[in-house]
Amino acid sequence: MTGVVELIDAVWNADPDDPDERAYLSRVVERFDRDADDADGVDRIAELERSIRSLQGEQLKLIAEFSDASLRSDRDDPRIDPRIVGVARCLEIGLATSSSTQAAQYKISLAVSAVVDHPLTLDFLCNGTVSLSALREVVAATKGLDESDRQAVDRKIAADIAGGLTVPRKLSQAARRHALRLDAEAARKRAEHARTDRSVSMQEGPDGTAHVAVGTTAEKAVECMAVLDDAARAMKRAGDPRTVSQLRSDIAVERITGRMMTETPDVELQIVVSARTLFGLDEEPGLLRGFGPIPSALALALGDSPNTWMRRLVAHPRTQHLIAADPDRRRFGDALRHFLTWTYQGCTVGTCASSARHIDHLIDYARGGKTTLEGGQPVCERHNYDKLHPDVSVDRDLDGTITWTMPSGRSYETHPPPVLGPGSADPPY
């Protein structure tokens, strides 16, 4: 609005015979045009955001519909063991959306809950009023309530949204308050359940670092931090040159592993380095199996540790696919198991980032599957059991491509990655 007022004022007061006035007027008009373009850009951003939200809402409806049809089909099929009813729907949604099966399972749960328990909030997502994050917060806040209470919260939240409440965090607070009013006992049970959901996970960090997260109860987390902080500050007061933050990290690692940070590990670390890097001809990043790419200097330093086992991995010079491996050191399994694990570097379901826990027969052993390189594949524990579904099949081509075929008839391919990991050679992988 300020730009419009300035433009009107400039035109009204300008002297057309004064060159300076004409130059000033030209600059104002130019800036006004630029401001108008910026406003159009912001309007377009807002329009796209509403479109994205609408598509996300429609996708949730389709996911819920697909899930319901898949479940009914499995339950009506006498060939399917009741223990694996529904597993294929998670696998296929994950493959179709390029997400992990765990993420697909969450999407299905969210979609079903949105359609059944929160249809009014879902409608606000479909018309672009609220975000997918807002819907997730509302669904999470009502977890533990029975169906009628979840729907009652949905009606209250719909009124809140109609009144202008759209920020996810504020909607979460409102939903939790509505849920507490309806069923305080359910809130207590939800808190008890949350305290049983303990876990440990690892996430890759930059430049050869990683983060290990421990999920535990609130009081234990506070106790852990207090113990680590007290120990770190005591060492700092004693003259340790490391920062308090570094000390907390090092103390945690030492207490978990039982070894000092300077000691070499007593577990097998599989580090892959190209021959050209090994001989100093280039600095291609190495690969720490179970983690990801690491700087070449770090890979070489780890390889020079006194307790490091060296094993030769031979890759195709163009594709970088593994074509041979040194069969020595059989302590952790036979050469075939190692070769398949090194070749695919994880589960062969293309959207799964989990480590391979099983070497599976492509065709079940009981049905004539062969225990050979061509007849095996590495998979995580979950997808090993998903393959038990009678309408899920897996094939392997001569070039190593693994193809999973779903009950819907759709197929999804996984190519063996370069031996140094994705990004070290041209796709496909």
In this predicted structure, the answer to whether residue 379 has a pLDDT above a threshold of 50 is: yes
For the chain, give the mean pLDDT.
78
Give the pLDDT of residue 1. Answer: 45
> Using 50, 70 and 90 to split pLDDT, how confident is the model at 316?
low
pLDDT in tens, 394-414: 888 877 788 888 888 888 888
Question: Which of 48-52, 111-115, 171-175, 257-261 is least confident?
Answer: 257-261
In this predicted structure, the answer to whether residue 332 has a pLDDT above a threshold of 50 is: no
Average pLDDT over residues 96-121: 93
Distances, alpha carbon 68 to alpha carbons 52, 71, 117, in Å: 24, 5, 15
Residue bearing tokens 């099966």: 101
More confident residue, 39 or 249: 249
Q: Return the percentage of the chain with pLDDT > 70, whole number.
A: 68
Give the pLDDT of residue 70. Answer: 92
Give the pLDDT of residue 328. Answer: 41
Q: Torsions phi, psi of 323, nearest 5?
A: -120, -15
Give the pLDDT of residue 222. Answer: 85
pTM: 0.62
Strand partners, 271: 288
Average pLDDT over residues 200-222: 84
Give the pLDDT of residue 194. Answer: 76
In this predicted structure, the answer to whether residue 61 has a pLDDT above a threshold of 80 is: yes
Most confident of 1-5, 212-216, 321-325: 212-216
Give the pLDDT of residue 261. Answer: 72
Question: Which of 50-54, 106-110, 149-153, 324-328 is least confident?
Answer: 324-328
More confident residue, 9 or 198: 198
Q: State the sign of the Cα–Cα–Cα–Cα dihedral 95, 96, 98, 103.
A: negative
In this predicted structure, the answer to whether residue 365 has a pLDDT above a threshold of 80 is: no
In this predicted structure, the answer to whether residue 315 has a pLDDT above a threshold of 60 is: no
